[in-house]
Amino acid sequence: MQEVSGIDPLLDEALAAIVSRASFSGFQESGSRRFHEASKIEGGKRRFEQALGQPFVLRSSDSGFMTAEEVSPFTGEPLGIRYEDEDIDALYSRADTAMRSWAKVPPSERVKLCVDLLRDIDACGFEIAHAVMHTAGQSFPMAFAGSGANALDRGLEAVAWAWREMSALPETARWSKAFGKGEPVTLEKKYRIVPRGAALVFCCASYPTWNGYPAMFANLACGNPVVVKPHPTAVLPMAIAVRVMREGLERNGHDPDLVQMIIDSTAQPKGKVLIEHPGTAIIDFTGSARFGSWVERNAGDRPCFTETSGINSVIVESTDDYDAMLDALANTLCLFSAQMCTSPQTFHVPASGIRCADGSTVSADAFERALVERIDRLAENSPRASSVMGCIQSPGTLELLQDWEQRAKKEHYRVLRKSVPYENADDSRARTATPLVLGMDPERHEPITEEIFGPVAFVIRHPDRDAALALASETARRYGGLTSFLYSTDDHYVDLAIEAFAWAGAALTCNLSGSMPLNFSAAYSDLHVSGLNPAGNATLAEPTFIAGRFRYAQHRRPVGNP
């Protein structure tokens, strides 16, 4: 491998971190005044407010504009922002033109510029955080950290891998070989990185930047122009990032059309048209399992990176700190109201109960009650609930919660806890919902075979722990799953779970409690999406996330023997 360090000190740290997998962040996670000047904090908020009700001009104020479907989950007010309604063919044509000159820029320069663009986006962290709050519904701390620094770190991680992979072959080599009795033939060979074409990046509504940045930056670093298609209800965060990237590209003498955005509406989605467009050379998709599987079927031989959805499980078998475990479980279930792809949905418990460190056993009934009680306690603490739970992104989620509550009655699930709103401390108008908790028995009820996006938890009672592990791991393997969680003090059982979830492809967290959210996934260290089950193949990040985003062209010619 070529020398990869020395391009940028931040990139060097990222390159070290992806190998050591030690903790690293290139960006500030806290939006506190301790770390930022007041003018920056207020300026970001003001910029967000100034965007409301206005056209958001990325390219030309002469374009047709379309109002997005953005409605703040905090205020219930439409954002009223109009975005350019681009002609698709013209957009792809501009992307192709931009690629031709970008391909001539040496990969090391492209990579360096990508790192600088990440810094530029970071400089707009407050503006983006407010945009995330009022589209995705994240609380401010999560919007600033999770959709800010954590997302930028995932982007930087992708740039580091892209650079590492682009450095796998030398640019040039000399090769000598004798054929038969002839003089040796000496050839000079050159290996050139060739981009693929426009990369279409679908962003999701609840966590647009975290999946968006890795795809956008991996593509751009590898030479491909990027077309961002945000979710119609969460455009602004991506629009700001696209604006910043375009400005940075132009300032550095590059074609801003290397990063473009296209918007659509729920009534007239453009996803299929874009996938079928011959200009789309690479697909990065985050979204629903239903459309995701259509995308996978229609990607043909184009590189296609997906994250759809999964059913994440917790198995509670035994614990040496029952109290801390309960807090950890309640917290992870409440975190952003379980609107994260890593949030658990099913809780598996042996019917015989949970063994504790003191030799006692907590019955399954008692565990259910205690879990509900911890959720109640969190929900009743308005400032804490506001910070942890944030808002419900989509009104559809509230309907889903109602549907499941009705269904529970009909199908005799035990309704352990109803979903009710909590009082949001930031805005009394906020759309909120605390977790619905349902009790199920696998032998009496249909198995859960799809993700229910939002704060719903099923506590599933099993005849024994082996049945719990079998169902939890098989569900992930068959229907998709990103994460799994286990509480067990029995090393043998832990080993069985490690084995089962490895084959199922759901990243396992064992016996974690305390200050770290269970489902926190750290850039440079935690792999996100395994590629081993239907939840997707877009692993953040290792070399497969880069593979196919560029290809090599080779030429060779004779040179005089040395």
Binders of its own copies among residues 147 to 166 (CB under 8 A) are 165
| Torsion 289-291-294-298 (CA) sign | negative
Binding test (CB under 8 A) with its own copies, winner from 13, 120, 247, 296: 296
Shortest distance, position 104 Cβ to its own copies, whole Å: 10
When asked if residue 531 is in the footprint of its own copies (CB under 8 A), the reply is yes
Tokens of 473: 């791991």
Q: In what order do the strands lie in the sheet with 55-56?
A: 55-56, 82-84, 65-67
Q: Residue 289's Cα: distance from chain center in Å?
A: 14
Q: By C-beta, is 238 or 529 nearer to its own copies?
A: 529
When asked if residue 366 is in the footprint of its own copies (CB under 8 A), the reply is no
Residue with tokens 């832990």: 494
CB 292 within 8 A of CB 202: no
How many whole angstroms separate alpha carbon 241 and alpha carbon 228?
Answer: 10
Residue type, 422: Y
Report the run of H or E that residue 150 belongs to, with start and end: helix 150-166
Helix residue ranges, H only, 459-538: 465-479, 491-504
When asked if residue 182 is in the footprint of its own copies (CB under 8 A), the reply is yes
Query: Percentage helix, strand, coil, to 5, in the chain?
Result: 40, 20, 40
How many whole angstroms separate alpha carbon 223 and alpha carbon 303?
Answer: 15
Binding test (CB under 8 A) with its own copies, winner from 208, 537, 538, 540: 537
Stretch 443-502 residues interacting with its own copies (CB under 8 A): 498, 501-502
When asked if residue 179 is in the footprint of its own copies (CB under 8 A), the reply is yes
When asked if residue 6 is in the footprint of its own copies (CB under 8 A), the reply is no
When asked if residue 52 is in the footprint of its own copies (CB under 8 A), the reply is no
Shortest distance, position 404 Cβ to its own copies, whole Å: 29
CB 540 within 8 A of CB 156: no
Q: By C-beta, is 287 or 454 nearer to its own copies?
A: 287
Shortest distance, position 426 Cβ to its own copies, whole Å: 19
How many whole angstroms separate alpha carbon 300 and alpha carbon 281?
Answer: 10
Shortest distance, position 387 Cβ to its own copies, whole Å: 11
CB 528 within 8 A of CB 540: yes
CB 433 within 8 A of CB 420: yes
When asked if residue 548 is in the footprint of its own copies (CB under 8 A), the reply is yes
Q: Compute CA distances 424 → 75, 456, 541, whole Å.
A: 11, 19, 35
Report the run of H or E that residue 428 belongs to, with start and end: none
Smallest Cα–Cα separation from 313: which of 442, 143, 411, 413? 442
Report DSSP state, residue 435.
P
CB 244 within 8 A of CB 237: no
When asked if residue 28 is in the footprint of its own copies (CB under 8 A), the reply is no
Tokens of 12: 């060097």
Binding test (CB under 8 A) with its own copies, winner from 162, 215, 304, 375: 304
- Single out the segment in contact with its own copies by CB under 8 A; choices: 57-65, 152-160, 399-407, 534-542: 534-542
Shortest distance, position 251 Cβ to its own copies, whole Å: 28
- Single out the segment in contact with its own copies by CB under 8 A; choices: 69-77, 82-90, 182-190, 356-364: 182-190
When asked if residue 554 is in the footprint of its own copies (CB under 8 A), the reply is yes
- Single out the segment in contact with its own copies by CB under 8 A; choices: 17-25, 35-43, 63-71, 130-138: 17-25
How many whole angstroms separate alpha carbon 149 and alpha carbon 463?
Answer: 44
Shortest distance, position 162 Cβ to its own copies, whole Å: 12
Greatest distance between any 2 Cα atoms in the chain: 88
CA dihedral 460, 465, 466, 468 (to 10 degrees): 20
Q: By C-beta, is 266 or 561 nearer to its own copies?
A: 561
Binding test (CB under 8 A) with its own copies, winner from 183, 358, 443, 446: 183
Binding test (CB under 8 A) with its own copies, winner from 300, 359, 560, 562: 300
When asked if residue 356 is in the footprint of its own copies (CB under 8 A), the reply is no
Q: By C-beta, is 64 or 558 nearer to its own copies?
A: 558
Q: How many CB atoms are located within 10 Å of the residue 557 CB?
A: 8
When asked if residue 73 is in the footprint of its own copies (CB under 8 A), the reply is no
Helix residue ranges, H only, 36-78: 38-51
Stretch 238-267 residues interacting with its own copies (CB under 8 A): none
Q: By C-beta, is 198 or 452 nearer to its own copies?
A: 198
Q: By C-beta, is 165 or 264 nearer to its own copies?
A: 165
Stretch 191-220 residues interacting with its own copies (CB under 8 A): 191-192, 194, 196
Report DSSP state, residue 533.
B
The site that binds its own copies (CB under 8 A) totals a number of residues, namely: 72
Binding test (CB under 8 A) with its own copies, winner from 173, 273, 366, 420: 173
When asked if residue 384 is in the footprint of its own copies (CB under 8 A), the reply is no
Report the run of H or E that residue 516 belongs to, with start and end: none
Q: Compute CA distances 56 → 70, 132, 238, 272, 367, whole Å.
A: 13, 16, 12, 25, 51
Binding test (CB under 8 A) with its own copies, winner from 211, 345, 346, 539: 539
When asked if residue 526 is in the footprint of its own copies (CB under 8 A), the reply is yes
When asked if residue 5 is in the footprint of its own copies (CB under 8 A), the reply is no
Shortest distance, position 100 Cβ to its own copies, whole Å: 9
- Write the binding mask 491 to 520 for its own copies: x where contact by CB under 8 A, - elsewhere: -------x--xxx-x-xxxxxx-xxxx--x
Q: By C-beta, is 410 or 557 nearer to its own copies?
A: 557
Binding test (CB under 8 A) with its own copies, winner from 320, 376, 441, 542: 542
- Single out the segment in contact with its own copies by CB under 8 A; choices: 43-51, 391-399, 441-449, 527-535: 527-535
How many whole angstroms separate alpha carbon 303 and alpha carbon 305?
Answer: 7
